[in-house]
Amino acid sequence: MKKTSNPTRFLTLSLIAVVVLCIVIFGFLAFYMDNHNKETINEVGAIYMKGMSERITMHFDTTIDYNLSQLQGIVEAYPADSLLPQEKLREQLIYDAKARGFVYLAFYSQEGELEPLFGPDLQLSDPEPFLDALNREENRIAVASTASGNRMMALGVSAEYDMTGDRTCTALVAALPIEYIQKILSLDSTEHENSLVYCHVIRRDGSFVIRSGDAFRESYFERIRALFEGVNEIEAEQHVADLERAMNAGENYTNILNMDGERRHLYCTPLPYSNWYLVTVLPFGKLDLIVNQLSSQWIGMVLGGCAIVLCALLLVFAKYFAITRQQITDLKVMKAEAEQASKAKSEFLSNMSHDIRTPMNAIVGMTAIATANLQNPQQVQNCLRKISLSSKHLLGLINDVLDMSKIESGKLTLSMDLLSLREVMDSIVNIVQPQVRAKNQQFDVAVHNILAENVLCDGVRLNQVLINLLSNAVKFTPDGGSIHIALYQEPAPQGDDYIRSHIIVKDNGIGMAPEFQKKIFESFVREDRTRVQKTEGTGLGMAITKYIIDMMGGTIQLKSAVGEGTEFHVILDLEKADTPELEMILPNWRMLVVDDDEILCQSTAASLKEIGINADWTLDGESAIRMVERQHQMRDDYHIILLDWKLPGMDGIQTARELRRRCGEDVPILLISAYDWGEIETQAREAGISGFISKPLFKSTLFYGLRQFAGNGSDSVPTPEAVPPQEQVDLSGRHVLLAEDNDLNWEIAEELLAQLGLVLDRAENGQICTDMFLHSTVGYYDAILMDVRMPVMTGIQATEAIRALSRPDAKEIPIIAMTADAFAEDVQRCLDCGMNAHVAKPIDVDMVARLLEKCIRARGKAGEAAYSG
Amino acid sequence: MTLKECYEKMEANYEEVIGRLRSERLVQKFALKFLDDPSYRLLITSMEEKNYEEAFRAAHTIKGVCQNLGFTRLGRSSSALTEALRGGWSQEADSLLEQTKADYQSTVTPLQALRDSQQ
């Protein structure tokens, strides 16, 4: 049992390993992809931010450049040394500045004093660098605010105009509303809600020049510190330090920060015309959200896939596991069965050796006694009788064993042939009668609803089955018991070509225990010997019976109870033989059928009706007498009365005697019985019974039994013709090729067959036979008679060669095997290789003639069918 | 010697063969021809040459002829020999061959006597 747990453990372990492997691989994939997503976003962010910042910077540059050049334009249009009077010049400057959209214009002194030409008073936010640059004659911008707090963007261009108080200014300063710049830089986030990006403009010390979004502190650095406060202050300081270093170095700075619970991409770049820096911030919030959604979808899909793969794996494993378990169980069962079979076989062998030895001993012993008493014929005769009995018994045993070994090696074959069920039933009734009589048992045969008497079946094997069932019934039924066999038919499900035949063999004997019923059809089994010690046999009979029925495609069922009896029910679907229906008509008689079996009465009446006879029936002798008497008084006597022998109350003999006494000798009274007529003939004749019809009562049985009572001669009743005259075949002049290697056999065959008027040609072996057929004109030979064992080429090979020829008659010429091998297997082999029929040696002229007629007629029909079709 | 006496000596079935062939003349004609039938010689030489396939066929032919002529005794032993040789050589074959030889002699001797008495 240790072995069985090993595959289970292996399976479980490997399943776990595969599951773990799956989870690891898929987990790694999910993790890797997620990480990779972030990196990709960062990269995308960096590229995007750089482009964005460059664009904004460029835009800023262009805008400032443009405004500066406007201002420069004004300065150049009105140079300080122009001849215009001071007042006029100032007016012109104001006019031009207004026309170019400036909201403020002032002269800027070298000391940093503003002298406004128009617009509100302005206070520069960070005047020193502005003044320094202008004094160096560079153009510059700055932020300024009015007294009311409105912020402005101031632009300065070097110019030397006269200021009030005899001073000369160092620059002309114009201003634009700060909103203008904000708009240009898209810094006003309120107007661009959809834009992800927002910007600040800061100075080098971190103070805001322009701020947007939610920034409210004065310094960007403070803002960063505040945002990181309590979260990661070190990182904030690091970031500020890095930013300052980059600003000092005049480099671009890019970084990703975690702020307000989301990642933000930060990009810092210096702006021209100022010492300002543009800080562009891209919060990854929305992007992250989308990408995270994507990646969680992705992970979901991966996990889903993983789950499906795992489920599939589990299923496969479970299935495989179940199959393995099933196989193990099957193996165990098979092993047990094999052991059981082998045990049964060895038991059987030991039984058999005993069973065979018993009659063998009798034979040996009786032979010795007979030898010792040669002078005493009485004694010798007695011994011989016993020897004959024992040898018959021994033969039975050996036949069973041989059959069984044939079955076990699969060599048992059926030879299907035309079979009359009536003949089968008649013959088995004859065989069983002595056994029944010996045990003084009641025996009855019932046949009803017969739709087809002639069928195709292996008669020998069917007989074997029926005799086996019946002799078992006789054997296992005590003296005085009753045995009943019934045959009836119904249409078969396979169609009109078949007929379903039911055979029921029933007894009221010792019956069988349910356990034994289960194994009765197994080989080598016999019921426990305490009850059936006296019974002889191999115990193979039922197994052989079952096997034969199986081969015939039928079924056998068993009903039995200990002490109550046994009933076997055999169902066979037999092929109907296409024999011409005999025209069986008798005069329109009135008949009476008396039998205690109601079904038999009805069925017999129906059969009689088909023959043209009207029949009444009744179930006992007393009522039969009343009916006959009534008809007699009405002067309308029954023509014939059928009387069962065994009737309840008054039996058939008594009834007949009474009928004769009352109604005279005119009406023929026939006894119907399954018993041997010989036993009761004398008694019956004395009682006035005119004749006997043996059960079972087939239609043909009735016809032939009753025909003799029809009129005075055969002229009033037509003799049935099995073969209509026009179909009879005249064999004289027919050409037959006979393959036979032995001269003597050939001469005998020629002598015998020549009597039929056949013209015979001889072929010495299969090869010559094939050649002769090949070189004959088509249709010259009507048939080939083929020996099987021949030198050079056997009959089987020759038949195959002839059938393979392409001549039109190669397929249809009748080939009949003639051989000394008469086993069913040999016959089957002949039929398998393409022969039409088989006839055993020694040659029986009538048999050969019949076969030839049949084959030639069949060929003629096939030919006609071929021509008409 | 009559044909019937001859058949009795051979332990052959006279009634059966007459029933089948229907004429004493025919039976006698064929029975005497058995003396010239080569199958027996073929059987003996084949057995000596250990050509058991040929021997089987020869035994088979003898069996067939015996059945045709109603030679019950020789038919029985040749039939047994046939079965023993059906699948090639078998243990019983040699003893059965001896039996067949003996039966052949007891068949041929009366036949020769019959032929001699006819001439």
Residue A142 has pLDDT above 90, yes or no: no
In angstroms, what CA-CA distances link A148 with A127, A176, A182, B95? 19, 16, 19, 147
In a domain, A763, yes or no: yes
Selected residue of A402, A409, A744 to mutate for chain B interface (largest B Cβ count, 10 A): A744
Residue A329 has pLDDT above 90, yes or no: yes
Q: What is the pLDDT of residues A198-250, one digit of tens each?
A: 778 888 888 887 776 566 777 888 877 777 777 677 777 888 888 888 888 87
CA distance A317 to A325: 12
In a domain, A566, yes or no: yes
In angstroms, what CA-CA distances link A178 with A153, A184, A512, A522, A729? 5, 10, 118, 112, 132
- From the list B33, B34, B60, which residue is nearest A820 (CB)? B60
In a domain, A365, yes or no: no
CB contact under 8 A, B61 and A745: yes
In a domain, A311, yes or no: no
Q: Are A108 and A39 in a shared domain?
A: yes
Q: Are A518 and A422 in a shared domain?
A: yes
Contacts of A402 in chain B (CB under 8 A): none
CA distance A670 to A475: 31
In a domain, A317, yes or no: no
A534, two tokens: 């006296």
Residue A720 has pLDDT above 50, yes or no: no
Q: Are A600 and A698 in a shared domain?
A: yes
In angstroms, what CA-CA distances link A689 with A70, A389, A597, A623? 156, 37, 21, 18
Determine the distance in angstroms separating the CA of B96 from the nearest CA of chain A, rounded to an integer. Answer: 18
The sign of the torsion formed by the CA atoms of A202, A207, A209, A215 equals: positive
A533 confidence band (pLDDT: 50, 70, 90): very low
Residue A4 has pLDDT above 70, yes or no: no
In angstroms, what CA-CA distances link A619 with A20, A447, A701, A741? 85, 16, 21, 65
Contacts of A239 (CB under 8 A, 6+ apart): A224, A228, A255, A257
Which CATH number do you get for residue A62? 3.30.450
Residue A533 burial (CB < 10 Å; 0-12/13-18/19+)? exposed
A122-131, A478-487, A719-728: segment of lowest average pLDDT:
A719-728
CA distance B64 to A321: 64
pLDDT at position A723 is 37
- The percentage of chain A sitting over the pLDDT mark of 90, rounded to a whole number, equals 5
In a domain, A299, yes or no: no
Q: What is the pLDDT of residues B27-37, one digit of tens each?
A: 888 888 888 88
Q: Are A27 and A175 in a shared domain?
A: yes
Q: Are A769 and A693 in a shared domain?
A: no
- Give DSSP secondary structure letters for A89-132: HHHHHHHHHHHTT-SEEEEEETTS-EEEEESS-EEESSHHHHHH
Q: Where are the domains of chain B?
A: 3-118
pLDDT at position A789 is 82
**Mean pLDDT rounded to a whole number for chain A:** 80
Listed residues A542, A576, A610: the one ending a domain: A576
CA distance A740 to A786: 7
Q: How many residues does chain A have?
A: 869
Put residue A553 in one of left, alpha, beta given phi > 0 → left and psi -120 to 50 → alpha.
Answer: left
Determine the distance in angstroms separating the CA of A758 from the nearest CA of chain B, rounded to an integer. Answer: 16
Total domains in chain A come to: 5
Measured N-to-C along each axis, helices B52-69 and B91-118 cross at an angle, to the nearest 10 degrees, of 40
pLDDT at position A568 is 92
* CB A601, CB A593: distance < 8 Å: yes
The closest alpha carbon to A431, from A480, A392, A467, A483, belongs to A467
Average pLDDT over residues A842-869: 69
CA distance A71 to A174: 7
A523-527, A737-741, A784-788, A790-794: segment of lowest average pLDDT:
A523-527
Q: Which residues does residue A642 pair with via DSSP β-bridges, in sequence order?
A: A593, A670
Residue A715 has pLDDT above 50, yes or no: no
Higher pLDDT, A106 or A263: A106
Selected residue of B15, B23, B25, B60 to mutate for chain A interface (largest A Cβ count, 10 A): B60
CA distance A67 to A142: 13
Q: Which residues of A touch B (CB under 8 A)?
A: 741-745, 747-748, 751-752, 787, 789-791, 819-820, 841-845
Q: Which of A259-263, A419-423, A839-843, B40-44 has the highest mean predicted lDDT (pLDDT)?
A: B40-44
A43-47, A181-185, A609-613: segment of lowest average pLDDT:
A181-185
pLDDT at position A2 is 46
- How many angstroms from the chain centroid is the CA of residue A672? 56
Domain B3-118: CATH architecture, name and number where available = Up-down Bundle (1.20)
A364 confidence band (pLDDT: 50, 70, 90): confident
Residue A728 has pLDDT above 70, yes or no: no
The closest alpha carbon to A485, from A521, A442, A456, A518, belongs to A442
Q: Cβ of A566: how many Cβ atoms within 10 Å?
A: 24
Which residue blocks in A520-620 are alpha helix, DSSP H?
Answer: 529-532, 541-551, 598-611
Q: Are A214 and A153 in a shared domain?
A: no
Strand order in the sheet with A783-787: A759-763, A735-739, A783-787, A815-819, A837-840
Higher pLDDT, A795 or A42: A795
Listed residues A162, A184, A206: the one ending a domain: A184
CA distance A533 to A510: 13
Higher pLDDT, B6 or A181: B6
Q: Are A691 and A787 in a shared domain?
A: no
| Domain of A231, in residue numbers | 198-283
Q: What is the pLDDT of residues A496-510, one digit of tens each?
A: 888 899 999 999 888
Tokens 């007042």 label which residue?
Answer: A87
CB contact under 8 A, A820 and B34: no
CB pairs under 8 A between A and B: 56
Side chain identity, residue A421: L
Side chain identity, residue A854: K
In a domain, A350, yes or no: no
Q: Are A120 and A166 in a shared domain?
A: yes
* CB A794, CB A802: distance < 8 Å: no
A729 confidence band (pLDDT: 50, 70, 90): low
Peptide bond into A696 cis (omega under 30): yes
Q: Where are the beta strands (DSSP E) in A204-291?
A: 208-210, 253-259, 262-270, 276-283
β-bridge pairing A565-576 and A498-507: antiparallel
Side chain identity, residue A699: K
Q: Are A520 and A660 in a shared domain?
A: no
A869 confidence band (pLDDT: 50, 70, 90): very low
Q: Are A25 and A171 in a shared domain?
A: yes
Residue A351 has pLDDT above 50, yes or no: yes
Q: Cβ of A589: how many Cβ atoms within 10 Å?
A: 17
- The percentage of chain A sitting over the pLDDT mark of 70, rounded to a whole number, equals 90
- From the list B30, B79, B82, which residue is nearest A744 (CB)? B30
pLDDT at position B45 is 92
Contacts of A747 in chain B (CB under 8 A): 30, 33
pLDDT at position A37 is 76
Tokens 């057929």 label which residue?
Answer: A773
* CB A33, CB A295: distance < 8 Å: yes
CB contact under 8 A, A744 and B33: yes
Q: Are A547 and A651 in a shared domain?
A: no
CA distance A655 to A672: 13
Q: What is the pLDDT of residues A92-113, one digit of tens each?
A: 888 888 888 888 888 888 888 8
SS3 content of chain A, % helix, strand, coil (to 5): 50, 20, 30
Average pLDDT over residues A164-180: 83
CA distance A365 to A383: 9
Residue A865 has pLDDT above 60, yes or no: no
Q: What is the pLDDT of residues A761-778, one digit of tens each?
A: 899 888 999 999 988 888
Q: Are A670 and A742 in a shared domain?
A: no
Higher pLDDT, A619 or A756: A619
In a domain, A326, yes or no: no
pLDDT at position A29 is 82
Contacts of A579 (CB under 8 A, 6+ apart): A418, A454, A722
In angstroms, what CA-CA distances link A678 with A129, A682, A685? 155, 8, 11
